[in-house]
């Protein structure tokens, strides 16, 4: 009794695997779940030699833990988190620590922090990325909030985190709900990159008529290039997988893409902060578009575009597609990182984007070789407003934009939906425009609503009585 280092509430996929990870690092870990089946299956691991104990009894669970107790919640975001806290509270004492490791909306973390600190309980949110395997063998973890409480648990988190060049993919990120906010934007970027990969796949298949083996091998090869990343890697694995009938499984999977909400939250909050993240917005929108299958079947018969089937040079097409995907992925990260920069000011997080990009290099779903380039960019200039302004990144974008423009033109001509790619290019073209046509919008606002405008040749605020 009273000897366990760490407790986890919620022994679903993430909770179970994280607990096994902790136990593998020779920390004693206790697990709580109301589901006896989950508890029993974890308890079998204890019998297999792991330093762990699982139970359905909250009193027993809390009694196992050393004081001050450290308990991580890995339950679905929203009400289940509040219920788990309520069930623990009668058993806890001042100084105990609760960590929310789920995909919680950041304002909920701010609220819970206030409620729990009034009771003397330390509370902080920590985004965890990497899915089942990451949780078991090394996730990326994004803690924020109560720094002292984090410091106390740092040895455990550093031991279980993914490592890149020996550096653990976990580091204290900032004040308040910073950890949950960074994880939310991580997921927004995840949505964006997944959308872009699916568009490139569609272009390969329906656009350039590449055969399935070539498509699969291309993703495999790209994962040995500057596109090297977890999402490209798993795409190459997915495209290889056969079902029980020997068919490629991907062709049997329904195209209705589901979501749990973190991508939408990223877009919603970006709108609140007035930070443009159009690639991520497009990714959310395309998952929504994917829902309306019956309408799409009907529309496919009515809204016709006859595409020409002109021959293409396959090798050239693959090179251009690679440039396009690389270009658009860089732009997606740029949008998410710019959102973090603004959110940090707005919510007083005091984020260091070098740290964020550093801990995203391993363990998480958006881990990629380019993260090291971003880390270097922020190390060289911690105040960099946007990674597009970093010389090395700008050079990469300048080099890959010709291929991107050609591929998008091709997609338009073919009538293929490439909202993610188009929005990435539109962001790039708007960002590099010294002058945008929004002067006309200002004039229109003043014309119909006397909303006033500013001039480029004189200071002050102006209104014109426009001639009808």
Among 103, 177, 216, 332, binds ligand 6PG (CB under 6 A): 103
The answer on whether 21 is annotated among ligand-binding residues is no
Any contact of residue 262 with ligand 6PG (CB under 6 A)? yes
Closer residue to ligand 6PG (CB): 207 or 362:
362
Shortest separation between residue 465's beta carbon and ligand 6PG, angstroms? 51
Q: Which of 259, 314, 342, 401 binds ligand 6PG (CB under 6 A)?
A: 259
Asked if 131 is part of the footprint of ligand 6PG (rule: CB under 6 A), the reply reads yes
* Contact track, ligand 6PG, 362-391, x by CB under 6 A: --xx--------------------------
Catalytic residue among 183, 264, 322, 414: 183
Determine whether 441 is exposed, middle or buried from the number of CB atoms within 10 Å of its CB (0-12, 13-18, 19+).
exposed
Residue 225 burial (10 A CB sphere; 0-12, 13-18, 19+): exposed
Name which of 260 and 296 has its Cβ closer to ligand 6PG. Answer: 260
The verdict on whether 345 is a catalytic residue reads no
Which tokens sit at 343? Answer: 């959110």
From 67, 147, 260, 463, residue interacting with ligand 6PG (rule: CB under 6 A) = 260
Residue 174 vs residues 204, 343, 350, 354: alpha-carbon distances, Å = 42, 12, 5, 13
| Cβ-based nearer residue to ligand 6PG, 9 or 364 | 364
Please give the full DSSP string across 67-120, using - where no structure is assigned: SSPEEEE-S-SSHHHHHHHHHHGGG--TT-EEEE-S---HHHHHHHHHHHHTTT
Distance CA 128, CA 186 (A): 10
148 labelled catalytic: no
Alpha-carbon torsion (54, 56, 57, 62), positive or negative: positive
DSSP helix/strand/coil, 369: coil
CA gap 45, 52 in Å, rounded:
8
CB of 128 to ligand 6PG, least distance (A): 7
CA–CA separation, 439 vs 108, rounded Å? 39
Q: State yes or no: 191 annotated in a binding site.
A: yes
Between CA 402 and CA 242 the distance in angstroms is 36
187 is in an annotated binding site: yes
The verdict on 268 binding ligand 6PG (CB under 6 A) reads no
Minimum CB separation from ligand 6PG for residue 104, in Å?
11
Q: Phi/psi at 100 (nearest 5 deg)? A: -95, 115
Q: How many residues bind ligand 6PG (CB under 6 A)?
A: 12
Q: Is 290 in the site for ligand 6PG (CB under 6 A)?
A: no
Tell me which residues are annotated as active site.
183, 190
Q: What does the binding site for ligand 6PG look like in residue numbers (CB under 6 A)?
A: 103, 129-131, 187, 190, 259-260, 262-263, 364-365
Q: What residues are designated binding site?
A: 103, 129-131, 186-187, 191, 260, 287, 445, 451
């Amino acid at each position: 009794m009273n000897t366990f280092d760490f407790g986890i509430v919620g022994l679903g996929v993430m909770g179970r695997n994280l607990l096994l990870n902790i136990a593998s690092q020779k920390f004693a870990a206790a697990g709580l779940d109301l589901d006896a089946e989950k508890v029993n299956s974890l308890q079998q691991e204890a019998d297999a030699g792991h330093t762990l104990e699982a139970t359905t009894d909250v009193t027993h669970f809390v009694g196992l833990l050393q004081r001050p107790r450290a308990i991580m919640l890995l339950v679905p975001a929203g009400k289940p988190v509040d219920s788990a806290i309520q069930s623990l509270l009668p058993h806890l004492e001042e100084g105990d620590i609760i960590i929310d490791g789920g995909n919680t909306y950041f304002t909920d973390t701010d609220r819970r922090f206030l409620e729990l600190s009034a009771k003397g309980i330390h509370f902080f949110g920590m985004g965890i990325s990497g899915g089942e395997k990451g949780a078991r063998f090394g996730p990326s973890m994004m803690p924020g909030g109560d720094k002292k409480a984090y410091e106390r648990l740092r040895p455990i988190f550093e031991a279980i985190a993914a490592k890149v060049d020996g550096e653990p993919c976990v580091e204290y990120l900032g004040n308040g709900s910073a950890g949950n906010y960074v994880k939310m934007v991580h997921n927004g970027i995840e949505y964006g990159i997944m959308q872009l990969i699916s568009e490139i796949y569609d272009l390969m298949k329906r656009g350039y008529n590449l055969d399935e083996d070539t498509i699969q091998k291309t993703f495999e090869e790209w994962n040995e290039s500057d596109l090297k990343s977890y999402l490209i890697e798993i795409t190459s694995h997915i495209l290889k997988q056969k079902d029980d009938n020997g068919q490629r499984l991907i062709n049997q999977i329904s195209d209705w893409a589901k979501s749990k909400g973190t991508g939408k939250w990223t877009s919603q909050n970006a709108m609140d902060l007035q930070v443009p993240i159009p690639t991520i917005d497009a990714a959310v929108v395309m998952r929504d578009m994917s829902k309306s299958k019956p309408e799409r079947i009907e529309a496919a018969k009515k809204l016709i575009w006859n595409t020409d089937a002109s021959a293409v040079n396959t090798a050239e097409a693959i090179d251009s597609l690679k440039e396009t995907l690389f270009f658009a992925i860089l732009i997606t990260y740029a949008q998410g990182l710019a959102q973090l920069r603004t959110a940090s000011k707005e919510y007083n997080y005091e984020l260091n984007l070098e740290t964020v990009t550093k801990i995203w290099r391993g363990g998480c779903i958006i881990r990629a070789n380019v993260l090291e380039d971003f880390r270097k960019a922020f190390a060289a200039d911690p105040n960099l407003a946007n990674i597009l302004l970093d010389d090395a990144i700008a050079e990469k974008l300048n080099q890959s934009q010709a291929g991107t423009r050609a591929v998008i033109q091709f997609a338009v001509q073919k009538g293929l939906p490439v909202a993610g790619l188009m929005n990435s290019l539109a962001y790039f073209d708007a960002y590099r425009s010294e002058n945008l046509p929004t002067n006309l919008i200002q004039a229109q606002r003043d014309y119909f609503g006397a909303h006033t405008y500013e001039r480029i040749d004189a200071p002050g605020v102006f209104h014109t009585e426009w001639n009808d």
